[in-house]
Amino acid sequence: MANNTHDTSASSGTRSREDNPLLDFSGLPRFGEIRPEHVTPALDVLLADAQAAIDHALDPHTPATWADVVEATEQATEPLSRAWGIVGHLNAVADTPELRAAYGENLPRVTEFWSSVGQNLELFEKYKAIAASEGFTALSRERKKILENALRDFRLSGAELPEDQKPRFMELQERQAALAKAFSDHVLDATNAYAYIAKTDAELAGLPDDVVQAARQAAESAGVEGWKFTLHFPSYFPVMQYATHRPMREAMYRAYVTRASELGGTYGAGKAEWDNTAIVAELLKLRREEARMLGYRNFAEVSLVPKMADSPEQVVAFLDDLANRARPYAEKDWQELREFAAAELGLTQLEPWDIAFAGERLREKRYAFSENEVKQYFPEPAVLGGLFKVAEALFGVRIRADEAARWHPDVRFFRVENSDGSLVAQFYLDLYAREGKRGGAWMDDARSRHRKSEAEGGLQTPVAYLTCNFSAPVGGKPACFTHDEVITLFHEFGHGLHHMLTRVDELAVSGINGVEWDAVELPSQFMENFCWEWDVLADMSSHVDTGAKLPRALFDKMFAAKNFQSGLATMRQIVFSMFDMRLHIDFDAEGAGSANELAREINERYHVIPQASFSRWPNTFSHVFAGGYAAGYYSYKWAEVLSADAYAAFEDAAKLADGSVLDARTGERYRQEILEVGGSRPAMESFKAFRGRAPTIDALLRHNGMAGAPAQ
């Protein structure tokens, strides 16, 4: 553990800047050199520099102008954000005890700094003076939007609170940050801790060969006999989907849904100190206190201030409307699944660990194909080639392999170029699941586009992290992706395009910065639609053994099954979204009921599938308790309305031209009106500029097979 007393002399700072890779912003991060012991010294320097810039901005002799206050502050704080972003990224993808300790030690310092900036009334007054000055009208649209956002964020950060309340408000921010980190750590630890060791061939029955190979390889790496299955999704879900050995499915299901709870130890995936129940309750209590200090009725109102939705009531009404439309389809899906399981599989009582298994069997019978059959047509090289070809055809760019220092040998690096070869952006691609890597899939920014002076280097091009958790290659063959994983990859690349193709030169509204949270999923969900186009899939498929393209007959079966159990999937998302909203509207974290009891209540009200009595899924709901989606999980469905309607423009263009949805003219308009403008204007303005009107829900319902009455 580093000493809390640090030498901040000029000579020490100079040595730190020369020797510490976290203080080198001349190019890409030096991942091969960054060590946990670099974190604290780097933050000593960066926090001091940032604070000095804030102090200068606050000096009475510093004029209240864009250049002297906003720009100067931004230039001094961006290195802090970039370095801390690198540390946070490594903490998520290459966790070690030493790095976790360094991150945890410095998290309160970074949180305290940003809280103090947000609460600084003098700085708030400087920003207000700029907004009220004669020079405001001469500012660009982007800079006006930045000021508007900043004034809003000052208020949400407690700048207008009485001075005697600000220390408590800062305590709330620091404690929430610490709790979110602990929540995430517990989920990762509980996931890593569990293993099901299969000893017999009977336990392997039904599992795809590559899954069995991966389990054998995992067992050998762990020095155990048999086959090792874990709760990491590429290992866990195929068991749920294909394993005919019911006791194995049950054991792994119970372990999965009780992770990071008081039942984790009972089912083999936890320790008492990993139980997130108390963290959930405390987070909710602190969020409610924060909302009331700011003058809001609940935290949901606070969360929605920077979003498109006007009020919690509007979000609840949206979700209720969607639930009413989807429920008849969900009821039909559930009835069909139970009848099939009883008649064909002998499962008269369909348990939670049977649902994915029975669903896959029903899919195979009804549509005469399995997901594993489809998977063989999507080896990684073909999928990446197809994905890049879509982006190139639509947006006029080229994507090429590039070189950079990496945090793991599996990571790849690419550059995005204009047609003339000039650099647009770069991105890291980290595709495979492994221990020490947080589950899920996400895009994050390594740095954002920013135009500096020529003396400072000119244009800073954006760099993105694209992270997934797919199965790694086994048996000397390339990794093969399920169609769902292909969709996930397109989704995250859509986020990446939003970040990388921006033409905005101002950091605070460049790329995804400044975009309303409930609109940020538009570009990601938009890209998913191309995964259901024959021309696209045929061009990005190559059977891992034969090299054959995806047969049209198999694609037709896939497309026929596209909305298989879409009613159930929609209700599941509504349960997550409504649970999140209710938690932050009217749930009393200090009352008699628990968050898990609320989850069961919401499930009973909305879903048609009963929830297992032992399920503790809220204890791993990282989106809400560790990922910035508090009172915002509805964003996925909200933005899906926008993305489906946006994609309909490409469908319309294809019909008019009797051609492909990869229409370059429509792609150019989409790039200009959605991707390039980033957060420089309200998302609704961008949507209307592209579509020519406000969004409607019609395309979403059509894409999900819920445009009419459920087929009998």
Which of the residues are catalytic?
492
252 neighbors 229 (Cβ within 8 angstroms): yes
Classify the phi-psi angles of 514: left when phi > 0, otherwise alpha if psi is within -120 to 50, otherwise beta: left
Residue of 307, 406, 333 lying closest to 93 (CA atoms): 406
583 neighbors 624 (Cβ within 8 angstroms): yes
Helix, strand, coil abundance in the chain, percent, nearest 5: 60, 5, 35
Q: What angle do CA 416, 418, 419 make, to 5 degrees?
A: 125
Q: What angle do CA 295, 301, 307 make, to 5 degrees?
A: 130
Distance between CA 193 and CA 600 in Å, rounded? 26
The enclosing H or E element of 260 equals none
277 neighbors 285 (Cβ within 8 angstroms): no
Please provide the DSSP assignment of 627-651 as one string. Answer: SS-TTTTTHHHHHHHHHHHHHHHHH
Supply 630's token pair. 């508090």
Residue indicated by tokens 């510093």: 62
Distance between CA 266 and CA 271 in Å, rounded? 9
Residue of 471, 477, 483 lying closest to 374 (CA atoms): 483
Q: What are the start-end ranges of the H helices in 277-413?
A: 277-293, 299-304, 312-344, 355-367, 371-375, 380-395
How do beta strands 463-470 and 423-432 pair? Answer: parallel
Distance between CA 74 and CA 54 in Å, rounded? 10
Cα–Cα distances in Å, from 350 out to 180, 367, 570?
35, 22, 20
Q: Which residues contact 219 (CB under 8 A, 6 or more apart)?
A: 197, 225, 226, 227, 228
296 neighbors 638 (Cβ within 8 angstroms): no
The edge-to-edge listing of strands for the beta sheet with 423-432 is 397-401, 412-418, 423-432, 463-470, 442-447
Q: Which residues contact 147 (CB under 8 A, 6 or more apart)?
A: 70, 127, 130, 131, 136, 139
Distance between CA 607 and CA 604 in Å, rounded? 6
Cα-only R_g, the chain: 26
Distance between CA 548 and CA 69 in Å, rounded? 60
Distance between CA 462 and CA 467 in Å, rounded? 16
Question: Residue 398 forms beta bridges with which residues?
Answer: 417
Q: Which pairs with CB-CB distance under 8 Å and at least 24 residues apart come from 241-244?
A: 241/356, 241/357, 241/359, 241/360, 241/371, 242/206, 242/207, 242/208, 242/211, 242/357, 242/360, 242/372, 243/203, 243/204, 243/205, 243/206, 243/207, 243/357, 244/205, 244/206, 244/357
